[in-house]
Amino acid sequence: MNSDSQRKLGVLMVGAGEYNVGYVQTEHGAAPDKPAGVVALTLFDLRRRGLVGRIALADINGTRMPAVRAGIQSKIGDVYQGLDTSLDCYPEDNVESDPEAVTKAIASMSPGDACIVFTPDNTHFQIAMAALQAGLHVLVAKPLVKTLAEHQQLVQAAGAQGVVLAVEFHKRFDPMYSDAACRAKALGPFSFFSAYMAQPKHQLDTFKRWAGIASDISFYLNSHHIDIHSWMVGRKAVPVSV
Mean of per-residue pLDDT scores for the chain: 86
The CATH code of the domain at 3-168 is: 3.40.50.720
pLDDT digits (tens, 9 = 90+) for 141-178: 988 998 899 999 999 999 999 999 999 887 788 888 88
Which of 6-10, 118-122, 151-155, 222-226 is modeled with the greatest confidence?
151-155
Q: What is the pLDDT of residues 87-130, one digit of tens each?
A: 999 999 999 999 999 999 999 999 999 999 999 888 999 999 99
pLDDT of the residue at 146: 84
Range 67-94 average pLDDT: 94
pLDDT at 196: 74
* pLDDT reading at 1 higher than 60: no
Q: What is the pTM of this model?
A: 0.83
Residue range 197-217, pLDDT digits in tens: 766 666 666 666 666 566 666
Q: What value does the mean pLDDT take over residues 16-22?
A: 88
Three-state SS at 204: helix
Q: b/e map of 118-152 (b: 16 or more CB within 10 Å)?
A: bbbbebbbebbbbbbebebbbbbbbbbbbeeebbe
Residue 114 has φ and ψ, to the nearest 5°, of -120, 150
Span between the terminal Cα atoms of the chain, in Å? 53
Domain residue spans of the chain: 3-168, 172-233
